[in-house]
Structure 1
Amino acid sequence: MFLPIFQSSFLQITRTESNVIVNVFSDKMIIEGFEGFSGRQQKVFEYNETNYCIEWDYDIRQNNQIKGFTLCQYGQRLYQFEGEVQKLTGLRSVLKGKIGFFNWEKEFSFKKWIKKTEHCEIFQVLRGENLKVIKVLQDNNSNVELQVNQMLNQRPHINLLHSDEFYKDEVQVYLLMDFHEQSLSDLQNEYSKKKVPINVIRPILLQLLEGVNHLHSHKIIHKDLKYDNVLLTQNRTVKIIDFGLSQIGDATNIRSGTAGYIAPEVFQNQTITSKSDIFSIGVIFHKLLTGKGIYNNLDENMGGRMRISSHIKDKNAKDLLLSMLNQDPKLRYSAEDCMAHPFFTGEYDQPSQKICLTNYLSPLSQYKFQPISTQMISLSL
């Protein structure tokens, strides 16, 4: 049996005052000596299946130090425990992101709405002096967005903004995330004619690809990469957000996305894979380079009538862009292929030397490499 990542004793003060041992594992929490309706027993809480959540109790007389926790079910407080501050702090730290907490209003103060629609609620909250964001989900144990966030909590990446702590009640799930204000649109507005310099674009695009490559390596397809879902920290670290349309697995037939960023295969009844994300990043890349997308409306997107600007002078940038926007997902580059492109490595400047790129392609892609087709691509002057 695996050893627990946390183990400590606490006092159960409901039903009977008795000591229990709490063992925290990567996939479950076990309370030994738990006093329930059937007497003393071993109680197991599987994180992905339990309908219990935890409310943390604080002592307002001791500067809101944590003094205990309560097991809640369907919004009802059921079993209460107390213990030493250090042990409770350790328990809260290891359970964060694994099991839902209860009653976020106890720990945060509401600041303002960021987005409120029929299908989505996002608002800003304050914990002490730290600004955070809460995204509200419908409570559903099969909710893919919650599953993705829990997976990323175990396998984080600096360029992915996931929720490392979430709250639950009888109806909804509340994902807690760091607040970052600047988007790619804000960045673009800093430059004349909205054309971001190549030396600014390069590290941003590379970070975007690194974050997406991390997703793909864990069989997560984002499916909604766009300007609004890429934020920047003050030092311009990329943070990819919003896994509301994501899918777990190598492929999916669930068709969704945002008009202007959707890959051709989504409209052609083909299987959707991680290559669809690369197409969306290609649209982002084009917009960073030119200030414009490649489609004017949904009809153009559905018809595959791309408009690639003729004003992109950097040959490496143009070559990478066309490789990302290839109409055929089998010929389209993977995230790894993109990161090995000379736009980042600086190994060539002339398109005639493109054959060198085969040295960087992933094994799966090498036999597929061939010149980019210009079919269905029109130039926007």
Structure 2
Amino acid sequence: MLLPIFQSSFIQITMTEIKVNVNVFQDKMVIQGFKGREEKVIDFISTDYCIEWDYATYDNNQLKGFTLCQYGQRLYQFEGEILKVTGLRSVLKGKMGFFNWEKEVSFLRWIKKTDHCEIFQVLRGENLKVIKVLQDNNSNLELQVNQMLNHKPHVNLLHSEEFYKDESQIYLLMDYHVQSLGDFQNEYSNKKIPINVIRSILQQLLEGLNHLHSHHIIHKDLKYDNILLTQNRTVKIIDFGLSQLGDNTNIKSGTGGYIAPEVFKNQTITSKSDIFSLGVIFHKLLTGKGIYNNLDENMAGKMKISSQIKDKNAKDLLLSMLNQDPQFRFTAEDCLAHPFFIGEYDQPSQKICLSNYLSPLSQYKFQPISTQMISLSL
């Protein structure tokens, strides 16, 4: 028998107050003693319910209860002790949608808008965050990927720590990071990043990608714009808007210049396609240039590998990642075991702190909120 990860009692507010027991499991919440029935079961993946958190009027930081909402309507209200409600909120974060984000964060500015989503910056307390609003039919799949990563997170993947819902949209709340991989490379003269820094960046990217692939998630849109760096230079892969659950798919998507050849040949798309895209990123880290000039070259498979790559291990790994045949292309695990990482340079699994290799031109400094720009790709 599975034990709940949270268990507590609350008062359901109706014409007469009713005591209920709330049990939270990894995949569902069960309310026992619910008015009119023995129990109410809320499955996190399929539910139409979301929760609005109720705060004490005298102190908006003090939780006093919660309300079950459906299609934007407040339906069932519960109250309880502050510690109990706070504990419930903490355990439901990232599992179940919350309602009325305006109640908990402050809007700052719009960042980006497309036909499929929009992104804006918000403030929670003193912390900068971003909200990605999903507006198309793929919203639930992107949400599922984020829910899986919330349950099994990885330091090199930026997922939604919690999300909000209303009758028509999903709002993914994420940490705000200002610097893209392109911004970082531009800090170096002629975009020449030291090989030790490249090694650390690629290792973090591969470890994040290996985590995705081990949980049967294909990213499908790896590119410079979808890689951010935190203030302490931790690498973060972002944007699961095109991601697929499973070991393969026939759905074509991606960004020109990074797309694996099998996508254009109507072959099955697998995690190996992500490795090819990461190979393009690796080449750009090494040389400052991609392997294609445009989409037409990408479609025709006319790769241009720079002859200026002097590190033999780097070049060998690069060619293994860019193999035209996915059957012979490396996996993320293969890449991490390559001599480029475990050769004479470093001990196995040794990580290099990027802050030790800051640009010789300038150390990155954050600007005031009003002038900050984000590179959160869609």
TM-score past 0.5 threshold: yes
Which residue of the partner structure matches residue 343 of structure 1?
340
* 329-338 or 115-124, larger mean C-alpha shift: 115-124
Distance 2:53 2:226 in 1: 32
Distance 2:92 2:136 in 1: 19
**Amino acid of the residue matched to residue 260 of structure 1?**
G
Distance 1:16 1:98 in 2: 30
Distance 2:321 2:2 in 1: 44
Which residue of the partner structure matches residue 86 of structure 2?
89
2:158 to 143, 157, 161: 161
CA deviations over 1:340-376 (Å, ceiling 9, x no partner): 111111259xxxxxxxxxxxxxxxxxxxxxxxxxxxx
Which residue of the partner structure matches residue 16 of structure 1?
16
Distance 1:337 1:243 in 2: 23
1:1-381 counterparts in 2 under 5 A? Answer: 1-35=1-35, 39-138=36-135, 143-347=140-344
CA contact (8 A) 2:117 2:136 kept: no
**Amino acid of the residue matched to residue 48 of structure 1?**
I
TM-score by length of 1: 0.88
**4+ aligned runs moved over 4 Å, structure 1:** 139-142
TM-score by length of 2: 0.89
Flag the 1:139–1:40 CA change in 2: closer, same or farther, 3 A.
farther
Distance 1:282 1:56 in 2: 45
Flag the 1:222–1:45 CA change in 2: closer, same or farther, 3 A.
same
Displacement after TM superposition at 1:64 (Å): 2.8
For 2:172, what is the secondary structure of its paired residue? strand
Displacement after TM superposition at 1:139 (Å): 7.2
Distance 1:76 1:10 in 2: 21
Bigger Cα Rg: 1
Q: CA RMSD in A?
A: 1.3
Distance 1:169 1:242 in 2: 21
Displacement after TM superposition at 1:60 (Å): 3.1
CA deviations over 1:98-147 (Å, ceiling 9, x no partner): 11000000001111112112222011100010001111113769721111
Flag the 1:31–1:211 CA change in 2: closer, same or farther, 3 A.
same
Displacement after TM superposition at 1:16 (Å): 2.8
Distance 1:139 1:264 in 2: 27
**Amino acid of the residue matched to residue 240 of structure 1?**
I
CA deviations over 1:3-49 (Å, ceiling 9, x no partner): 111111111113431111111111110111111xxx24311101111
Identity of aligned residues (%): 81
Provide structure 2 residue ranges, at least 5 long, that are not aligned to the other structure. Answer: 346-378
Provide structure 1 residue ranges, at least 5 long, that are not aligned to the other structure. Answer: 349-381
CA contact (8 A) 1:139 1:170 kept: no
Which residue of the partner structure matches residue 358 of structure 1?
none
CA contact (8 A) 2:219 2:242 kept: yes
Distance 2:259 2:136 in 1: 28
Flag the 1:139–1:94 CA change in 2: closer, same or farther, 3 A.
farther
CA deviations over 1:307-359 (Å, ceiling 9, x no partner): 111111111111111111010101110001101111111259xxxxxxxxxxx
**Amino acid of the residue matched to residue 224 of structure 2?**
Y
CA deviations over 1:51-92 (Å, ceiling 9, x no partner): 000000111313531111000000000111111000000000
**Amino acid of the residue matched to residue 16 of structure 1?**
T
* Bigger relative contact order, structure 1 or 2 (CA pairs below 8 A, ≥6 apart): 2
**Amino acid of the residue matched to residue 194 of structure 1?**
K
Distance 1:114 1:324 in 2: 34
